[in-house]
């Protein structure tokens, strides 16, 4: 029996498989397509997604400076109106709070190749292509899975858990009989992926033209690749809109012609804004597009799926090891659904600005945005999508509500330890992390220390940037990122979850002891109870 069976092997399924296998779980993947999809769908991901990919062991191969790169810095993002006036200008931070650039542009087939290579290098992952899952049976202690191949032959598998990463038309979601809340934001966009015959530098690298006559987009799709998108406007039939003649006519608005570029693919994409009403039933769970779909305007679809995967991975690991009750998995939907709703709402808000086709409404929008731009000549950071976790596995106050700073996205800066300098995750490692100003030993009795050891929690004492490490486990905070966070929280310690969110902060030895005890109680680590 396999520990986890994943249905679907797109990027979210790939990340989930890697994170689980790195924790020692066996993973079988069933994918109905015989070969990976060869064209990009997503073209950008955020700093938190970069941090998750780095946790998958891909920090070096996905860096923009890598050999044969598939990523590049997104750079600037500019919105203009139909008259060419700048409505919004964002200079995307190259040093975001997650320790990575706030936005990366990428070529999705290249990313999937790198993820597949990483998965193939790990023991415990088996990928079966050309099989379509047709039935599930949850027996309470296992799940039986039936799939059919192209010839119609049935194949049977058994797994401890099933994770549906099978996209917006998910079979697993239908099997769960999970309703879908549809927020009703739909527009047709013609998506054109293009390779230029000659290299060309675009200024800005990413451009949004909010023209009511034809909303359109020009963005990076990774090194050597570009994407142009055009919205279907009222009075235009779908047939004429998606014709090849229409494609080249619209690309001509950007001086792109068959003489200067190759059209890799084109097709009409209809935006959606929806999420499943239930993400878990027994031993079957949903992640990625199977659980939520959002408009593409903020590039949050795939990034949100990665957050699903990393949230589930550490919780399934604890349950698998007998350190947590399966009820811990109920917190997955509670935590991720609120996060996704935030991303969907922000994507819809941006889409309403971009997709406006009424000239009078567009003129009013322009007036408001131009006035805002005059007051604030340039934004260095895009509107924040770093949302705190608001419920679930979080340190609690006496009244049961999340304590201050519980659920914060954990910052990451550069540190030095043991003669090595780099990002905190690279130098210290990932998983549970207890970060303290001083030696935590006085607050940790034998039972608390044993609990942290069984969790494989890393205990780290942080020193100022001008200090030298004085003991094993010390790190020097080169940029002051970690100590600044502790100062802002008025805390001496922070306990960080494996998905890079703060479980809680504490002041003093008693506070730290209570913090560790609360985590132990919440995950129901019965293996450590007398």
**Distance (Å, rounded) from C-alpha 496 to C-alpha 474?**
16
Q: Looking up tokens 């709703």, which residue turns up?
A: 341
CB 495 within 8 A of CB 502: yes
Query: How distant, in Å, are the alpha carbons of 4, 343, 469, 497 from that of 163?
Result: 7, 22, 43, 21
Mutual angle of helices 11-22 and 108-121, in 10-degree steps: 30
Mutual angle of helices 446-454 and 508-523, in 10-degree steps: 50
User: Which residues, in sequence order, are CB contacts of 75 under 8 Å at separation 6+?
Assistant: 91, 92, 204, 205, 206, 220
Same CATH fold assignment for domains 2-69+107-180+280-330 and 414-528:
no
**Distance (Å, rounded) from C-alpha 182 to C-alpha 340?**
13
CB atoms inside a 10 Å sphere around CB 109: 17
CB 448 within 8 A of CB 495: no
CB atoms inside a 10 Å sphere around CB 318: 24
Residues of the chain with pLDDT under 50: 378-383, 525-530
CB 480 within 8 A of CB 78: no
* Residue 106 DSSP symbol: E
- Which among 485, 465, 462, 466 has a CA at the least distance from the CA of 475? 462
Residue 466, judged by CB atoms within 10 A of its CB (0-12, 13-18, 19+), counts as exposed
- Which among 144, 125, 120 has a CA at the least distance from the CA of 133? 144
Q: Degrees (nearest 5) of the Cα angle 173, 177, 179?
A: 85
Residue 169, judged by CB atoms within 10 A of its CB (0-12, 13-18, 19+), counts as exposed
What is the 3-state composition of the chain as percent helix, strand, coil, each rounded to the nearest 5? 30, 30, 40
Fold of 414-528: Glutaredoxin (3.40.30)
- Which among 169, 160, 104, 47 has a CA at the least distance from the CA of 423? 47
**Distance (Å, rounded) from C-alpha 155 to C-alpha 142?**
17
pLDDT at residue 385, as a whole number: 65
* Residue 456 DSSP symbol: T
Q: Which CATH architecture has domain 2-69+107-180+280-330?
A: 3-Layer(bba) Sandwich (3.50)
CB 70 within 8 A of CB 220: no
Domain ranges of the chain: 2-69+107-180+280-330, 414-528
Q: Looking up tokens 């808000």, which residue turns up?
A: 349
């Amino acid at each position: 029996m396999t520990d986890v069976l994943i249905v679907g092997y797109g990027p979210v399924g790939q990340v989930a498989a890697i994170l689980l296998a790195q924790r020692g779980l066996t993973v079988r993947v069933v994918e109905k397509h015989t070969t990976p999809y060869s064209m990009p769908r997503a073209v950008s991901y955020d700093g938190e997604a970069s941090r998750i990919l780095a946790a998958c062991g891909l920090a070096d191969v996905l860096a923009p400076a890598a050999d044969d790169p598939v990523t590049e810095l997104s750079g600037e993002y500019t919105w203009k109106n139909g008259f060419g006036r700048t409505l919004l200008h964002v200079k995307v931070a190259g040093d975001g709070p997650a320790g990575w650039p706030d936005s990366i542009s990428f070529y999705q087939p290249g990313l999937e190749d790198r993820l597949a290579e990483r998965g193939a290098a790990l023991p415990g992952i088996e990928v079966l292509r050309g099989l379509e899952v047709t039935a599930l049976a949850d027996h309470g202690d296992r799940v039986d899975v039936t799939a059919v191949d192209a010839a119609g032959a049935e194949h049977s598998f058994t797994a401890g858990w099933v994770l549906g990463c099978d996209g917006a038309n998910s079979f697993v979601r239908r099997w769960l009989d999970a309703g879908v809340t549809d927020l009703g934001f739909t527009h047709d966009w013609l998506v054109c992926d293009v390779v230029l015959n000659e290299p060309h530098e675009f200024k800005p690298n990413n451009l949004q033209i909010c023209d009511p006559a034809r909303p359109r987009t020009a963005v990076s799709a990774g090194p050597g690749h570009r994407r142009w998108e055009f919205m279907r406007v009222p009075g235009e039939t779908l047939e004429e809109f998606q014709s090849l003649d229409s494609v080249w006519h619209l690309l001509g608005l950007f001086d792109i012609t068959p003489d200067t570029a190759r059209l890799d693919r084109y097709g009409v994409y209809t935006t959606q804004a929806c999420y499943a009403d239930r993400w878990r039933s027994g031993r079957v769970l949903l992640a990625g597009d199977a659980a939520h779909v959002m408009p593409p305007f903020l590039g949050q679809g795939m990034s949100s799926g990665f957050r699903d995967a990393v949230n589930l991975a550490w919780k399934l690991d604890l349950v698998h090891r007998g350190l947590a009750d399966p009820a811990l998995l109920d917190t997955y939907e509670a935590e991720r659904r609120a996060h996704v709703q935030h991303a969907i709402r922000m994507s819809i808000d941006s889409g309403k600005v971009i997709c406006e086709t009424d000239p009078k409404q567009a003129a009013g929008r322009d007036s408001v945005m131009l006035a805002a731009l005059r007051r604030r000549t340039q934004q260095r950071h895009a509107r924040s999508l770093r949302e705190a976790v608001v419920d679930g596995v979080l340190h609690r106050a006496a009244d049961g509500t999340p304590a201050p700073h519980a659920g914060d996205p954990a910052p990451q800066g550069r540190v030095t330890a043991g003669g090595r300098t780099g990002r905190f995750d690279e130098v210290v490692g990932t998983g549970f992390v207890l970060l303290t100003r001083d030696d935590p030993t006085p607050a940790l009795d034998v039972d608390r220390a044993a609990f942290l050891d069984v969790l494989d929690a890393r205990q780290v004492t942080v020193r100022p940037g001008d200090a030298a490490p004085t003991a094993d486990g010390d790190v020097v905070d080169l940029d002051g990122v970690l100590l600044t966070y502790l100062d802002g929280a008025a805390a001496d310690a922070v306990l960080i979850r494996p998905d890079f969110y703060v479980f809680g902060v504490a002041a003093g030895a008693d506070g730290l002891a209570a913090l560790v005890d609360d985590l132990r109680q919440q995950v129901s680590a019965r293996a450590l109870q007398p």
